[in-house]
Amino acid sequence: MKKLGGFVVSALGAGLLVVAPIYLALLLLLKAMNSLIGLVRPVARLLPEWLPAEHLLSLLLVLAICFVIGVATRTRIGRAAWERVETSLFHRIPGYELFRGLTQRLAGESQDQSWRPALAEIEEALVPAFIIEELDDGRCTVFVPSVPTPLAGAIYILTPDRVHPLNVPLTQAVKALSRWGSGSKDLVGAMEQEKANPSS
C-alpha cells in the first residue's frame, strides 16, 4: 500500500511538472491577449464578422511584442538592460537560473554549462543524466531524470570519473528519455567517441 501511495504521489508530481509550465504559459498568453483586446477592437470591426478578429489580432499583437522584445535583447543596450532586470529581480526567484539554463540549452545557446547531457555511473549501470554544476573540488552535481518525464528525478553528487559528458544536443538526450530509452545507443556512441578523441 505504501508503494502504491508513493507511486501515485511521484506520478502526480511528475505530471504537475509537465502540465504546470504549459498551463501557466497559456494562462499568461490568454491574460495578455485579453488585456490587448481593447486596443485591437477598432481594427477588428473592419474585418468580417465570421472571423474571430479580436482574439486573432490580440494574439498577433502579443507575438509581435514578444518578437520585438526578443530582437531588443539581442542588441548591446537591450542585453545590458535585461541583465540588470534579471539580476535585480528574476535571480531572486527560486529555480529561475536552473530553468534559464534549461531553456538556453533547448534553444541551442551553450554559454551556460548547466543541463549538459551526460551518462552517469550509478552502481553498476550507465544512466542518462544532466550535469547541473561543477563543484570546486571537481565533483559534479548531476540530475538523473525519471522516464518518460525528464523534469522529475533524482540529484547525485558524483566524482568526475563517474560522469561522462556528451557532445550531443539537449533535445537528443530528452528525446531518448521520452521514448523510454530508445536512442540511448547514440548517447553511448557519443560517450565512446568522446573517450576515443578526448581532445576534440
Residue ranges of the domains in the chain? 2-92, 116-196
Residues in a beta bridge with 144: 154
pLDDT band at 14 (very low <50, low <70, confident <90, very high): low
- 77-119: per-residue pLDDT in tens? 877 887 777 667 665 665 566 566 656 555 555 555 667 888 8
- Angle, CA 116 vertex, CA 9 and CA 100 arms, to 5°: 70
**Are 119 and 127 within 8 A, CB to CB?**
yes
Q: Please report, as a single letter, which amino acid is at residue 114.
A: S
Inform me whether the pLDDT recorded for 138 exceeds 80: yes
Instruction: Label the pairing between strands 153-158 and 163-165.
Output: unpaired
DSSP 149: -
Question: What local confidence, expressed as pLDDT, does residue 1 receive?
Answer: 61
Provide the grid cell at 184. Answer: 540511448
- 112-130: per-residue pLDDT in tens? 566 788 888 888 888 888 8
Question: What local confidence, expressed as pLDDT, does residue 158 receive?
Answer: 92
pTM of the model: 0.49
